Structure 1
């Protein structure tokens, strides 16, 4: 009684595993290399001394080539994980950018 169930299970598992290992057909090009969205803070340094608002955040993010931007306010709790695609704008109590960095 158990043998047909185990055989069926083994066959299903083998089919699932083999489906995961497929490769492109001969003659097809592999996926192109992904476009880098790594942040470069240097072009966004223009923001230092300016008030952080949505327009400034967007322009700084675009110039830095970052996918995301976050504004870091004084005494704000933030995550410390590094994200090479994120631009950080550190602001003072008045909302003026004091530092531009990636991560």
Structure 2
């Protein structure tokens, strides 16, 4: 069981390293305040600490960020300058969306 856990950690680490080369600083290439997910390839499965969430908000170009937790209700109104960070019950990032 411990070997399986270590193998999963190694695979995740490899995916992060492989994806790191594809991270782009495209926030400066888009309209100010418009969310872009070009940065997001490598940051899923990271803890959603306030510092980390702020850093990805800045890299996305969004002016607003919303961390969405399971069981909570959120507006469905689309907002082009909002980054939505989806986390699980353990506050680990599961995905990103603009809107």
How does the TM-score come out when normalised to structure 2?
Answer: 0.65
Deviations 1:42-99 (A, max 9, x none): 2134331001011111111001000010100001110000000000000001110001
User: Structure 1 stretches (4+) deviating beyond 6 angstroms?
Assistant: none
CA RMSD for the aligned pairs? 1.2
- 1:62 aligns to what? 58
Aligned length: 69
Q: Structure 1: where are the runs of 5+ without partners?
A: 1-34
Aligned partners of 2:41, 2:60: CA distance in 1, in Å?
9
Larger Rg: 1
Aligned partners of 2:38, 2:44: CA distance in 1, in Å?
11
- Aligned: 1:82 with 2:78: yes
